[in-house]
Amino acid sequence: MNSGFVDILPFGDQGYQGDSKPLVYAFGSRKKNVEDLVNWVKIKKREIITNLNTHGAILFRGFPVESDIDFDAFVNAFEMNNLDYRDTLSNAVRINRTPRVFTANESPPDVSIFLHHELAQTTVYPSHLFFYCEQPPDGGGETPICRSDLLLEKLEDEIPLFVKKCSELGVCYTNIMPSKKDQDSGQGRSWQDTLSVSDMISAETILKDLNYNWKWLDDDSLKVITCPLPAIRLLPNGSKVFFNQLIAAFEGWNDKRNKSEESISFGDGSEISKEDMKKVCKLSDEISFDLSWEKNDIVIINNMMVMHGRKPFIGRRSILASLAIDDQEGPKFNN
């Protein structure tokens, strides 16, 4: 298919079928500059977003986007609201490059980041994610992506009681935040940075407003238990999605302070079966698509319907990210 000066091509297989395949927008050999690309996006943005609602993710490969500044201009062309990472309750360590662009999770190369919807463990999350490959690694470092609507269909078939409890009770997340940034952890952001405060009293005010529970620990780290948050959501288009951080927390929230298996519960505090969670992880792996990065690739992800993660890697890997909220497309949940 051709859309203006851009070819639209399907990805390879990896188990995806028909519309569930992510799309590729390949620029090919027709050289244009970033200004031409930005103008093209401004004209085509609704078409691109509609495609994102069908496929969940789009890869732009071979485009003339060669720096964080170019990437910022590309993201800006979609005219979505910027969700500044510094204002979010994310627990990952990141560094801002431009007002819209920051480094993806800075955790060490051997750390896996398991599938999740961005910031689904908090009350404010983006509708769309933009990723840009500044430097592909020497090996590994793929970004797995997984359609949550397709996963939920499988879960309803295989573990319907688990789905029912997720739906009726919601889920809570427990995380112990350090008092100083912990660069060795995927969840190493300090409580001061996470909550945008400098003292304990201000932290407590924010946690109270969020309806979270908390406990100060001896080393001034802060144990936080969220209020019950939905684990399954109904999107305006009628599809239901497994929108949460259960997989990432269950498999990955391990560090000096945290034990992953203690990081999740149902909304009433009751235990989530480890067997059920292992099933969720296995089924999500089966339908995940591993994206291997090439230099200057951009990927847009519909955060409402697609989970993402990060595989371990060797060498230097630099992926930049931007979070956005599209007023016209979400996040607007029906529950």
The contact set with Fe ion (CB under 5 A) reads 118
- Rounded least distance, CB 321 to Fe ion, Å: 8
- Rounded least distance, CB 111 to Fe ion, Å: 13
C-alpha of 275 from chain center: 24
Parallel/antiparallel/unpaired status of strands 222-225 and 240-241 = unpaired
Residue placing its CB nearer to Fe ion in the complex, 63 or 125: 125
C-alpha of 117 from chain center: 4
Strand partners, 143: 291
d(CA 174, CA 183): 20
Residue placing its CB nearer to Fe ion in the complex, 23 or 307: 307
Residue placing its CB nearer to Fe ion in the complex, 106 or 158: 106
- Rounded least distance, CB 61 to Fe ion, Å: 21
Angstrom distances, CA of residue 20 to CA of 68, 148, 182: 30, 11, 38
Residue placing its CB nearer to Fe ion in the complex, 118 or 297: 118
Closest CA to 63 of 23, 21, 5: 5
Closest CA to 321 of 143, 64, 147: 143
- Rounded least distance, CB 118 to Fe ion, Å: 5
Q: Which residue is nearest to Fe ion (CB)?
A: 118
- Rounded least distance, CB 97 to Fe ion, Å: 17
Structure token digits, residue 167: 């739906």
C-alpha of 170 from chain center: 19
Residue placing its CB nearer to Fe ion in the complex, 80 or 163: 80
